[in-house]
Amino acid sequence: MMKPLTLRTKLTLFYSLTVSILLTGFALIYYRVLTTGMDSDLTQDILDRTSGLRGYLRFEDGQPVFVYDENEPEEVTFIDQATRYYQVYEIETGQLLRESGELQNSQVRFSPADIQNYASTAPSFVDIHTDQGRIRLRNELVSANGSNYLLFVGASMKPLEETVDSFLEGLAWLIPSGVLLAAIASWFMAGKALEPVAALGKAASEIVVSRLDRRLPIQGTNDELDQLAIQFNDTLARLEKAVDEMKQFTASISHEWRTPLAVLRGEAEVALMQTSSPEQYRRVLASQLEEFEKLTRMINQLLTLARAESGEVEIEQETVDLSAMAQKLTEDLEPVASSKNLTLSCNSAPSVTVCGDPGWLERVVLNLLDNAIKFTPAGGHVNVRVSQNGHSATLEVQDDGIGIPNEALPHIFERFYRSDPSRSDRSEGAGLGLSLVKWAVDQHHGSIEVESTPNKGSRFRMKLPSIIS
Ligand code: ADP
């Protein structure tokens, strides 16, 4: 297969072709203008000479003579010029009566038949080829003393032909050298213009995952190449962020799993080291089961999050009664709250409906309630409130629990984020719940925000576009 042409070669070819077409076009137009101009100048010149000469032509004893004032320099010069190419024929006999030296040298002769012909079409022009080049002749009828004569007056076309020849010769040099010059110039220009592209390519090829903080150089010219570099750098910045998130995610997973795995291992080792009663083994196994459940829950949450973020999860579009859902979930969690000595209440406006996925919305509310119960000590209160505000439905989960420190507030929706690891050891959460909540709320075109005061409590407020019935 043929090697594809480089952009530089293509540009050079394109420019050279354009220049050669332009040059040839201009040359053709100029050639036409030049030749027609010169041709018509010559013709006009011959016409002037013919009519001038006719004025001086006399016939004495049937012989043509030019009668003029030899003391008049203008007349002398004119006769000198005009009589270089002329012949006078008697039409009747076809006999040549008189001619100029130039025509005699060129041996221009017309037969009686030719003369008859020309006489019938006179006045007219005729171009004759001779050894001395082409000659243009004008013939006109002249009558004198009852006889008819044919007068030929002309000029050599040699100067015209020579000018055209040297013009064409000039072109034969000019066009190829013009094209060559254009080719060289465009080769350099294209090289110069493409230099930054090559530099960009080189800089881009040096960027690897481990060096995503590198950026392409911006020249500050704000041209297309600068724009390209800026866009490329933006893409790099996004990639860098994504890779950083991935790294952090991996680090977090490893970290999260280290503790339960160490616990499992420790328990197993201790149990194996000492001979224990079946009762003791049972206790160890039960404790291990708890750790396994924690791990399983974490893996399930991770899988859901991964599927959600890779766009595999489809969000259903159904009418969901948020008020009824809040009521039902409150009732479901009542036993959990009671076991922690918490009061759980729900006050909702009736039939606040939204359009969305009932499964996901339930998971959102459940997560918020679960957190509230988890982070509120005995004797506390957890309240759910559903209300409608114009086109938006609001669901609030409020507790008077331990609250969230100010510095943790911006991060609680991040994966694996737990505001205080020492506290979370008590709870079994992995810090994934709220990132799933955030994802689901975003998918429903809603928003979620949190207000919290440490030791006073927290309030999570979710807003969704509502359906107004
Ligand atoms: P977890 O599984 O640890 O609950 P989440 O993503 O649901 O993870 O929550 C992240 C962190 O936000 C929690 O570890 C906790 O520190 C904080 N948090 C969430 N809800 C509350 C709340 N109602 N009161 C106090 N802290 C909360």
The per-residue pLDDT for range 198-226, each reduced to its tens digit, is 888 888 888 887 788 888 888 888 888 88
Average pLDDT, the chain: 89
> Does residue 276 surpass a pLDDT of 80?
no
pLDDT greater at residue 236 or residue 425: 236
> Are the beta carbons of 118 and 87 closer than 8 angstroms?
no
> Which residues' Cβ are closer than 6 Å to ligand 1?
367, 371-372, 375, 399, 401-404, 412, 417-419, 424, 429-435, 458
> Does residue 426 surpass a pLDDT of 70?
no
Average pLDDT, integer, range 405-429: 72
**Ligand 1: residue whose CA is nearest its atom 21:** 371
pLDDT greater at residue 308 or residue 88: 88
Give CA separation, 374 vs 215, 331, 341, 370, 378, in Å: 46, 17, 12, 6, 10
CA of 264 to the centre of ligand 1 (A): 25
| Confidence band for 259, pLDDT divided at 50, 70 and 90 | confident
Q: What is the pLDDT of residues 342-363, one digit of tens each?
A: 999 999 998 899 999 999 999 9
Q: What is the dihedral of CA 94, 99, 101, 102, to 10 degrees?
A: -70
> Does residue 291 surpass a pLDDT of 90?
no
The residue whose CB lies within 8 Å of the most ligand 1 atoms, and thus the one to mutate among 371, 376, 398, is: 371
C-beta neighbour count of 264 within 10 angstroms = 16
Average pLDDT, integer, range 138-145: 92
CA of 423 to the centre of ligand 1 (A): 10
Q: ∠ CA(14), CA(17), CA(23), 5° rounding?
A: 140
Structure tokens at 259: 């503790």
Residue 32: per-residue pLDDT: 94
> Does residue 114 surpass a pLDDT of 80?
yes
| Confidence band for 425, pLDDT divided at 50, 70 and 90 | very low
pTM: 0.54
Residue 99: per-residue pLDDT: 93
User: Nearest to residue 156, comparing CAs of 102, 91, 204?
Assistant: 102
Q: ∠ CA(98), CA(102), CA(108), 5° rounding?
A: 70
> Does residue 381 surpass a pLDDT of 90?
yes
The residue whose CB lies within 8 Å of the most ligand 1 atoms, and thus the one to mutate among 370, 383, 412, 450, is: 412
Residue 373: per-residue pLDDT: 94
Residue 424: per-residue pLDDT: 44
Residue 325: per-residue pLDDT: 95
> Does residue 191 surpass a pLDDT of 50?
yes
> Does residue 403 surpass a pLDDT of 70?
yes
Structure tokens at 394: 């609001």
